[in-house]
Structure 1
Amino acid sequence: MAEWRELAHLLAEGRPADHPVALRDGAIHDFAAFTSSALAWRRCFAAQAGRRFALYCEDSADFAAALFGAWHAGKVVYLPGDTVAATLRQLAERVDGFAGDLPAHCQPLRPAAPARDDSAMDWQVLDVQSEALVVFTSGSTGLPSAIPKRLCQLFEEVATLSACFGARLEGANVLATVSHQHIYGLLFRVLLPLAAGQPFAAKRLAFSEDIATALARSGPSVLVASPAHLKRLPPAQDWAAGRLGLRALFCSGGPLPVEALPDCRALLGQAPIEVFGSSETGGIAWRRRDRDEDTHWQALPGVRLRIENQCLWVRSPHLSDDNWQATADQAEMDAAGLRLLGRADRIVKVEEKRVSLDALEHALLAGGLLLEAKALLLPGTRAALAVVAVPNEAGWALHDDSGKRALNEALRGALAGVLEHAILPRRWRYHWDLPTNSQGKSKLAALAALFDPRRPAARLLARRPDAARLRFEVAANSPYFAGHFPGAPVLPGVAQLQWVQLFAGELLDVPLGFQRMEAVKFPRLLPPGSTVTLELSLRQAQAGEEGVLAFKLSSAAGIHASGRMVFGALS
């Protein structure tokens, strides 16, 4: 297909030097700059003895150049979804090195400054049969599974997406809320725009304010989004200017609740094109719900579907071979298309009884007190059902006026006709949103981490892109009080700093490159049972100027901790 040739020959055949590839801080990153950066990366990778490298970049233009530089150097690129310590430890056992924007202890590769040396650009056509990429998916167990991809699989999928949606990209800038470190963002945010010759934004849009501003300034545009962003579009935001130029809206990475559709249609002017697939299978089907009853999915071009025992099977050029592959999705088909019925791997056993986590979540949402809910099985000597939920206005009112126990009981009552009393959820966490990765997917490990006894159950009181305020009780059974001190428990200062770092990382766009602490004070002891307020304020790093996170932890007794965390200036 043409897109095969476009991407496999992209650097070998080239494009005009001034052809726009990416948009960065209002400036165009042209094909000459992209080629020069890719050459620097190719030289950097070619100088390394190993073949397998983990690549992580914040900037999509840098990432695209590094990716093609690695492929042209004959390397296999592993894509970590994040840079947390556990992810990097697991990757260290699989790869020969690291590259990009990773912590210094990983000793990541970074190329020398790009030089436009046209005589050295002896680009060859990429071998599309080579294994060139490894992506990761958590699956139902939460343990990461490595999924290798040949270039022909990726390029075939780009060709399929172009055949289905390419006309919508013509003349438009591609904006995204999702990360290119995952397969959805890689395809829609980087590879598809490259094949189509349309510029993509180098920076990810993390907040609704960023989305509205970027759409208003971008002119004709395409937005690649996740359900996590589309189901939280604030009606008070001014969307009018951005709505006029929005050519297409894509959504993938998880199911988009039907409740999110009215805001999408009203605020963004259209329902999203939802794409269903997985890291293992690639894209499978798509739909656009212009009406709530438009629930059926249509197979993508070249993808064949069949149903066996309510299980969906797929055969497509995006797979590693030409065989039929079973998915973990339950489905049915009729003349209107495909209907998805939930995940087969979300059936768990509790007290020897089978429980559908999908059915449990549906019953909770039907109770009228929640916006979102995720059920999981917490391991232990006696496995127990647990729920992480985002209350709606009525749910928070019940929580704040009558206490967490009252909300627990109301939700348990909503499950009375679904589960036997003995296996009702025993653990509940109420959060401002479901923890998701940059792709908008809830990770099992992140959900389970909310039940860590070292973590306070916080109530978010206010939030802006540069500030946040929370309230929580310092639980008497916190492990941080162990041995500190017998008979007179006091929360250690290091635990308070850990909470500052934890909540700032979840609520604010905290920069990389921690440098030092400043003006840190602990004027009052913090005993168990205290109800405290944590205030966070962030000043982002600018060119030649350091970033600063200021914090204050206080209660009715006064201030317990305050200070600043300083991050490196941008070069």
Structure 2
Amino acid sequence: MTELLKSWLSQGPSGHQLISFNHHDIVTGERFATQVHHLHKQLVASGEQRWLLACDSSDQFAVGLCAALLAGKQLILPANTQSGTLSELAHEFDAVLAPQPLCEGKSFLALEKEFSQPLAPWPQLPTDSDFGELILFTSGSSGSPKAVRKTLRQLDAEVTVLEQTFAKHLPHCSVIATVSHQHIYGLLFKILWPLAASRPFLSDLVEYSETLGYYTALFPNLCLVSSPAQLSLLADALGVERQIHTPSLIFSSGGPLSLETAQNIRQCYGSLPIEVYGTTETGGIGYRRQHSVKTLWRAFAPMVLDVDPTDNALLLRSPYLENDQVLRCEDKIMLVDKDLFRLEGRLDRTVKIEEKRLSLTQMEGLLNNHPWVQRSHLVLLEAPSQQLGAIVELSDYGKQQLAAEEKLSINNGLKAHLLTQFERVTLPRHWLYVDKIPTNPEGKLLRQEILQLFNHD
């Protein structure tokens, strides 16, 4: 297996490589190398080893990423920069790389575009030094954020496989994305893979169908990196009408893509999206183009799949993992052939809301810490779309507040509490306040009775 990413990171871009672009600016390899050089110099001079990296602009994020990896630093990538999230991770980092200071009492280096810096070469990694590493955080089944370590070797293995699998579909493509690079999917597909394969990427996030239309008209070959919810909204915005200008390839990941959305995107753009299945821990496991509800997933070439005979949980051996041990995943699968499989649901309390992985246990823990709440339970409601429902036993203080104020005020107060750690799109849409959450004599929750309460709400 070739070391595509490691080779690029060791040598740096050519001066004429187009790194990134938006509607008013481009970044060439020469300019990118200069920015990385100067930031790398500051990082090497700094005594701090653990740096939180957060930036909305993908080109500046990439500068911070490359400079820190070359300086041998450990990078902490938060899922978001909300106060509760940063507070929970504060013990994980010593300093911040961002456009502005995010935490009091932490060292800070600014990520900002500098046009007046003297040209400088790509930093060289000392022969006796190692590249830095990344730490991402994902919702663990226990409710606490779980640290996931990614070395350059792991990331390089995945980037190389992506190029070997899909390069023939990407002739001279530019890459644009509707997903954030702060998560593993966007990090790989929008930043690391394009850099290593010399494909320019859009430095901004695509938020509107008009923006996508502008760039598809501008670039004859374009790769769109998106998600199921965003592709569904895109198809609706386009009226499921055939478009004159189309992306060469569309990727979707972060959750299940409905057959209807897959077919609607084909109606708009003439080809089915490529769905990628995986997690933060595992990286990409398999891919498919969903021709029908029976379409199977195909494992990426290096994957070795098996199933746990007790509950059909996926057992995975992969070069993307830290070691060669078999990893048990909490996804239930049916293994049709050694590299063909069908997904059959989750086995734990981690769910996806708007493609964002969420631990129901973690959110319940935060809810239960509110003075209005005695106990809470979250359920995933499937109709009319996947949404969270919250059933809450109020404390005596909470009951007083509910009697004094409208239910909407209580809802909003609890939502504001959850917003300290969770993004708005993941919050419960339905709220029930009950004297007692339905349980059996052994204290086990009665799921069907709980769902019935929401049906009658």
Aligned 8 A contact 1:331 1:338 in 2: yes
User: Is 1:344 aligned to residue 342 of structure 2?
Assistant: no
CA drift of 1:128 comes to: 9.8
Question: Which structure carries more relative contact order (alpha carbon 8 Å, separation 6+)?
Answer: 2
2:184 aligns with 183
Distance in 2 (alpha carbons) for counterparts of 1:53 and 1:284: 29
Please list the CA deviations of residues 375-422 of structure 1 after superposition, one character each: whole Å capped at 9, or x if unmatched: 967576565454556748xxxxxxxxxxxxxxxxxxxxxxxxxxxxxx
Aligned 8 A contact 1:307 1:331 in 2: yes
2:226 aligns with 225
Amino acid at match of 1:321: N
1:317 aligns with 319
Amino acid at match of 1:98: V
Sequence identity (%): 31
Gaps of 5+ in 2: 369-373, 395-403, 426-457
Please list the CA deviations of residues 431-482 of structure 1 after superposition, one character each: whole Å capped at 9, or x if unmatched: xx85xxxxxxxxxxxx5789899xxxxxxxxxxxxxxxxxxxx95256689x
Aligned 8 A contact 2:36 2:67 in 1: yes
Relative to structure 1, is the Cα distance of residues 475 and 387 closer, same or farther in structure 2, using a 3 angstrom cutoff? farther
Bigger drift between 252-261 and 299-308 goes to 252-261
Distance in 2 (alpha carbons) for counterparts of 1:139 and 1:216: 42
User: Is 1:476 aligned to residue 406 of structure 2?
Assistant: yes
Please list the CA deviations of residues 350-390 of structure 1 after superposition, one character each: whole Å capped at 9, or x if unmatched: xxxxxxx99xx9xxxxxxxxxxxx99675765654545567
Helix, strand or coil at the partner of 2:97: strand
User: After the TM superposition, which residues 347-426 of structure 1 pair with which residues of structure 2 at under 5 Å, given as runs?
Assistant: 384=377, 386-387=379-380, 391=384
Relative to structure 1, is the Cα distance of residues 294 and 96 closer, same or farther in structure 2, using a 3 angstrom cutoff? same
Pick the structure with greater CA Rg. Answer: 1
Give the aligned CA root-mean-square deviation in angstroms.
3.6
User: After the TM superposition, which residues 210-359 of structure 1 pair with which residues of structure 2 at under 5 Å, given as runs?
Assistant: 210-235=211-236, 237=238, 244-289=245-290, 291-309=291-309, 310-335=312-337, 337-346=340-349
1:84 aligns with 82
Relative to structure 1, is the Cα distance of residues 234 and 329 closer, same or farther in structure 2, using a 3 angstrom cutoff? closer
Gaps of 5+ in 1: 348-356, 362-373, 393-432, 435-446, 454-473, 482-490, 508-571
Distance in 2 (alpha carbons) for counterparts of 1:159 and 1:175: 20
Number of equivalences: 392
Relative to structure 1, is the Cα distance of residues 13 and 478 closer, same or farther in structure 2, using a 3 angstrom cutoff? closer
Please list the CA deviations of residues 501-550 of structure 1 after superposition, one character each: whole Å capped at 9, or x if unmatched: 99xx969xxxxxxxxxxxxxxxxxxxxxxxxxxxxxxxxxxxxxxxxxxx
CA drift of 1:166 comes to: 1.7
Amino acid at match of 2:283: G
User: After the TM superposition, which residues 488-567 of structure 1 pair with which residues of structure 2 at under 5 Å, given as runs?
Assistant: none
CA drift of 1:139 comes to: 3.2
Relative to structure 1, is the Cα distance of residues 42 and 240 closer, same or farther in structure 2, using a 3 angstrom cutoff? farther
Distance in 1 (alpha carbons) for counterparts of 2:170 and 2:391: 40
User: After the TM superposition, which residues 14-25 of structure 1 pair with which residues of structure 2 at under 5 Å, given as runs?
Assistant: 14-25=12-23
Distance in 1 (alpha carbons) for counterparts of 2:8 and 2:127: 9
User: After the TM superposition, which residues 435-450 of structure 1 pair with which residues of structure 2 at under 5 Å, given as runs?
Assistant: 447=388
Please list the CA deviations of residues 53-106 of structure 1 after superposition, one character each: whole Å capped at 9, or x if unmatched: 000011111111110011111111110111100111122111011111345544
Aligned 8 A contact 2:99 2:111 in 1: no
Distance in 2 (alpha carbons) for counterparts of 1:172 and 1:126: 34
User: Is 1:38 aligned to residue 36 of structure 2?
Assistant: yes
Distance in 2 (alpha carbons) for counterparts of 1:239 and 1:18: 39
Amino acid at match of 2:292: D
Amino acid at match of 1:208: S
Relative to structure 1, is the Cα distance of residues 21 and 375 closer, same or farther in structure 2, using a 3 angstrom cutoff? closer
CA drift of 1:169 comes to: 2.3
1:54 aligns with 52
Distance in 2 (alpha carbons) for counterparts of 1:203 and 1:476: 41
Aligned 8 A contact 1:331 1:341 in 2: yes
1:172 aligns with 173
